[in-house]
């Protein structure tokens, strides 16, 4: 089957307490770029290339949201969204004998102790006025008409993000979900590709381009930070930047599996002890063998009096020898056997 990763991804951001910070589903760009530097090691006659040392791996992610997103800006600047903010507002006011009053909000002082407003008259001249409460008086006390008053006030429903001069961009868990499509399927969409970055650091850089013939996008620039996962065995905690997972709709774990193998092969037990079997599945596509899910395997012992098996757990009951069989439940023709000797 031919598979294609199409269109933009949906993105999700989580904090360290697994709180969902944002969802982006109207992206214009969701690109990932990885870079790797290298240094040539040369020696010998003619300065031969002996080795290439690879280092300074980086993963950078560029996200562009078509909608305006205050959440993106907050994360990018390491700030938070506050509810309740001072805002500029305008309202039409009827002035009689040079006196008028605003009703939408309570005027506030801006930089001085005096509370000012700016009145645009019908002839488009602008006059700065002083408020006493909600009331103002024009210089022309005989003026009658409708004016536009601009002033500073508080809006309890407004939300704001403060961009600090010493900003520290946020670090989040970033999840990107892309669409996997194929012309070999009647539905075209066959699954998803999920990219998960455990530690994604915002860069703090953004541009809001407000032009007369376009819609401003909200950008989010991300750099992946090294994170560790327990790889087990000698690998221990191995550093990673991200995981990229392909999820095919309707796929079964045993698709393309041609054989099972039980780790360690035949073994000996002491009566009364137990051992958990590790069953690996082997595919025909050259991919690495993987641990088969226990709930997809049927286990059986040909001599339960010697040893029983349930969920892959073998329990020695009496001295003797028995054969334990592991079979793919939905594909009974694929199995693996081990001989268990109980002493």
DSSP calls for 316-330:
E-SSEEEEEEEEETT
Query: Quick check: is 250 in a domain?
Result: no
Residues 262 and 338 in one domain: yes
Q: How far apart are CA 206 and CA 29, in angstroms?
A: 14
pLDDT at site 137? 96
Three-state DSSP state, 25: coil
Largest pairwise CA distance in the chain: 115
Query: Quick check: is 305 in a domain?
Result: yes
**CA 300 from centroid of its chain's CA atoms:** 43
User: What's the domain count of the chain?
Assistant: 3
The residue count of the chain comes to: 343
Residues 156 and 22 in one domain: no
Domain span holding position 337 = 257-342
Residues 238 and 93 in one domain: no
In contact, 117 and 102? CB cutoff 8 Å: yes
Residue 238 to residues 10, 178, 228, 232, Cα–Cα distance (Å): 28, 26, 5, 9
Q: Report the C-alpha dihedral over residues 118, 121, 126, 127, rounded to 10 degrees.
A: -60
Query: Quick check: is 73 in a domain?
Result: yes
Residues 73 and 171 in one domain: yes
Query: Quick check: is 252 in a domain?
Result: no
Residues 147 and 189 in one domain: no
Residues 73 and 88 in one domain: no
In contact, 78 and 164? CB cutoff 8 Å: yes
Query: Quick check: is 44 in a domain?
Result: no
- Domain holding 99: CATH number? 2.40.30
Residues 298 and 232 in one domain: no
Low pLDDT (below 50) residues in the chain? none
**The residue to which tokens 């870079």 are assigned:** 35
Q: How far apart are CA 115 and CA 69, in angstroms?
A: 32
Residues 92 and 75 in one domain: no
In contact, 325 and 299? CB cutoff 8 Å: yes
Q: How far apart are CA 131 and CA 135, in angstroms?
A: 5
Instruction: Among 212, 245, 278, identify where a domain stops.
Output: 245
- φ, ψ of residue 310 to 5 degrees: the values are -145, 125
DSSP-based helix, strand, coil % in the chain, nearest 5: 5, 60, 35
Nearest to 69 by CA among 9, 25, 8: 25
Residues 95 and 210 in one domain: no
Instruction: Among 111, 132, 161, identify where a domain stops.
Output: 161
Residues 332 and 227 in one domain: no
Query: Quick check: is 336 in a domain?
Result: yes
- Domain holding 14: CATH number? 2.30.110.20
pLDDT at site 187? 72
Instruction: Among 222, 245, 268, identify where a domain stops.
Output: 245
Query: Quick check: is 332 in a domain?
Result: yes
HEC sequence for 301-317: ECCCCCEEEECCEEEEC
Query: Quick check: is 149 in a domain?
Result: yes
Residues 54 and 95 in one domain: no
pLDDT at site 234? 67
Residues 178 and 56 in one domain: yes
pLDDT, tens digit, 9 for 90 and up, residues 146-166: 999 999 999 999 999 999 999
- φ, ψ of residue 77 to 5 degrees: the values are -100, 0
- Domain holding 262: CATH number? 2.60.40.1080
């Amino acid at each position: 089957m031919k598979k294609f990763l199409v269109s933009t991804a949906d993105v999700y951001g989580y904090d360290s307490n697994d709180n969902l910070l944002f969802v982006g589903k109207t992206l214009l760009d969701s690109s990932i770029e990885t870079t790797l530097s290298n240094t040539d090691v040369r020696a010998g006659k003619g300065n031969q290339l002996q080795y290439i040392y690879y280092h300074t791996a980086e993963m950078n992610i560029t996200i562009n949201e078509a909608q305006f997103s205050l959440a993106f800006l907050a994360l990018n600047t390491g700030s938070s969204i506050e509810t309740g903010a001072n805002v500029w507002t305008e309202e039409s006011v009827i002035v009689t004998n040079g006196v008028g009053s605003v009703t939408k909000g309570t005027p506030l002082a801006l930089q001085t102790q005096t509370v000012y407003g700016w009145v645009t008259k019908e002839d488009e001249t602008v006059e700065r006025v002083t408020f006493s409460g909600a009331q103002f008086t024009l210089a022309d006390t005989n003026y009658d008409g409708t004016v536009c008053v601009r002033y500073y006030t508080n809006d309890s429903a407004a939300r704001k993000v403060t961009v600090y001069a010493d900003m520290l961009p946020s670090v989040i868990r970033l999840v990107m979900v892309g669409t996997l499509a194929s012309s070999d399927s009647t539905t075209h969409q066959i699954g998803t590709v999920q990219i998960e970055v455990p530690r994604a650091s915002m860069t703090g850089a953004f541009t809001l381009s407000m032009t007369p013939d376009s819609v401003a996008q909200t950008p989010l620039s991300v750099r992946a930070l090294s994170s560790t996962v327990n790889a087990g065995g000698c690998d221990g905690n191995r550093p990673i930047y991200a995981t990229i997972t392909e999820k095919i709709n309707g796929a079964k774990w045993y698709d393309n599996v041609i054989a099972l193998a039980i780790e360690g092969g035949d073994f000996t037990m002491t009566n009364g002890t137990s051992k958990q079997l590790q069953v690996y599945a082997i595919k025909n596509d050259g991919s690495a063998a993987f641990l088969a899910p226990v709930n997809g395997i049927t286990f059986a012992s040909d001599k339960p009096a010697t040893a029983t098996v349930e969920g892959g757990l073998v329990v020695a009951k009496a001295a003797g020898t028995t054969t334990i069989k592991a079979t793919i439940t939905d594909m009974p023709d694929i199995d693996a056997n081990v001989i268990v000797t109980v002493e």
